[in-house]
Structure 1
């Protein structure tokens, strides 16, 4: 007797919405409308005779039944994805799929990809910079680069490098902050801080660690990406928290200058997260080895000496 399965498109809607805890984000991932996701899940709930989500004015959340069911559906999709990847000659020429933040992509990764292409001209790379959680292997990504304080259980993480924080601004703006003592000291009270409200570490972290007094961390200009913060600082709108090595090109060109010490290490680091079975495709092994090699020169922290690779499945 054949298995009776719920509608598979509705299951895909449910898996994405459950993972994101959002119909809107699920719709964006699947290239459909939020209404289509909502209606599909309502149909699934009717077919199953259970409530999978709690709908509230501020968003959705999984019911206990929905959370339990999601674990089975996610595992089923993972098994299908893994089985498909293991088919002989399955899409052997498909691009290497990488997910990372937009500022990291534009300021660190893309300037180096020409070197990779020069060595492996027949290997294509697809870079996704959307702000969404990546599910291995369901979403089809081979790698993700994430900023995190520590590896996350269940996947293979390789440390690339940590960030170092230093205040940066335009040279002209820096002159407006000098206190007139003649020794180059700055009057931090005059500074307009440019905040990145999506960053896990921002000005308050630097102020606490540096012990600088006279800065009101609650005020200033707020943007949603590091890239915009650097651009605003270069336009003379205030002080941005420079993040080395992402800000290195601006410092080298003179678009930005360091506003003064200290330069402090961040609590987080960039990690390369690898999907399972990377070793099955030689080009993925080459890409991972190349990426780790490119990043090695930037990590001089003590953590890098003993925590370069962490496989949390072990």
Structure 2
């Protein structure tokens, strides 16, 4: 009837916004997803997905299958963990969700190092510019940066991460250096749209306790940190960016930190996981591995 691969396929489909989105997550073509779904529905004799509207939606039967599949896959994962622990090994499949830029630069190498330590573990890393908008039950570990909305998962802080107001020397030479947050209204500003935050409202606090709130009208906006950083480096405007992404550029003088004494809210790097009782051994070991990464804060190492 149904294999574990069928259940994992349908869970990936159930967490996607569309068949195209599912194909991207599964790294296959949209036609392959359509054919596999049709084959699954044909074998079961029921429709699992309603494709009549603009957005894909599960039928009642599809919702039931997804709910039962989560339980079955969790049980299989627990069984694999139990058997592996009898052999003194960490094994099974690890599913990690991370922000796009940070995931590429730090989480992907961390997974590679972790797998060298635990070769019985396989892993899937999903990168997204809006990780907070995706279903939380699909992953073992969610890496989050910035404002965190309510979550039923357990949060582990991995590293402090400042947000930095910065611009390229060429831009500052051309437009001048702002001496107060209100002066930002006279500058070209770049907005990075991520995590569904209000990214055009910049809140700053001075060392003396004074507060300033600036509503910017961005000349450029993007949902990709790499593109926004490129614009700033090209002298296109003032950018708010995480320290993990610009620390090396600040040290090199390619970007300049602005408004000394004024501070933006931190955007700490955290890991979200299930409660300890519900966590697998591989998740627990990977979480420890991430704590070691956060403790080193590699983006700051060159400065120490």
TM-score under structure 1 length normalisation: 0.69
Task: Determine helix, strand or coil for the equivalent of 2:200.
Answer: helix
- Give 1:172's aligned residue: 170
Q: Please tell me whether the aligned partners of residues 103 and 226 of structure 1 are also in contact (alpha carbons under 8 angstroms).
A: yes
**Closer/same/farther in 2, CA of residues 176 and 57 from structure 1, 3 Å limit:** farther
Moved more, 32-41 or 191-200: 191-200
Q: Which among 106, 127, 130 is matched to residue 127 of structure 2?
A: 130
Structure-to-structure mapping, 1:129-168, within 5 angstroms: 130-131=127-128, 143-147=141-145, 148-150=147-149, 152-153=151-152, 155-161=153-159, 163-168=161-166
- Give 1:244's aligned residue: 243
How far, CA to CA, are the matches of 2:25 and 2:88 in structure 1?
A: 23
- Asked if 1:43 is matched to 2:45, the reply is no
Task: Determine helix, strand or coil for the equivalent of 1:145.
Answer: strand
How far, CA to CA, are the matches of 2:3 and 2:184 in structure 1?
A: 61
Task: Determine helix, strand or coil for the equivalent of 1:87.
Answer: helix
Q: 1:149: how far off?
A: 1.0
Q: 1:85: how far off?
A: 2.9
How far, CA to CA, are the matches of 2:270 and 2:219 in structure 1?
A: 30
Task: Determine helix, strand or coil for the equivalent of 1:236.
Answer: coil
Q: Which among 267, 291, 294 is matched to residue 293 of structure 2?
A: 291
**Closer/same/farther in 2, CA of residues 77 and 101 from structure 1, 3 Å limit:** same
What is the number of residues matched between the two proteins? Answer: 277
Moved more, 90-99 or 192-201: 90-99
Q: Unaligned regions of 5+ residues in structure 1, if any?
A: 299-314
**Closer/same/farther in 2, CA of residues 280 and 264 from structure 1, 3 Å limit:** closer
How far, CA to CA, are the matches of 2:199 and 2:17 in structure 1?
A: 29
Task: Determine helix, strand or coil for the equivalent of 1:206.
Answer: strand
Q: 1:288: how far off?
A: 4.2
**Closer/same/farther in 2, CA of residues 95 and 166 from structure 1, 3 Å limit:** same
- Give 1:303's aligned residue: none
**Closer/same/farther in 2, CA of residues 45 and 82 from structure 1, 3 Å limit:** same
Task: Determine helix, strand or coil for the equivalent of 1:247.
Answer: helix
Task: Determine helix, strand or coil for the equivalent of 2:28.
Answer: coil
Moved more, 20-29 or 95-104: 95-104
Q: 1:210: how far off?
A: 3.1
**Closer/same/farther in 2, CA of residues 107 and 201 from structure 1, 3 Å limit:** farther
**Closer/same/farther in 2, CA of residues 109 and 202 from structure 1, 3 Å limit:** farther
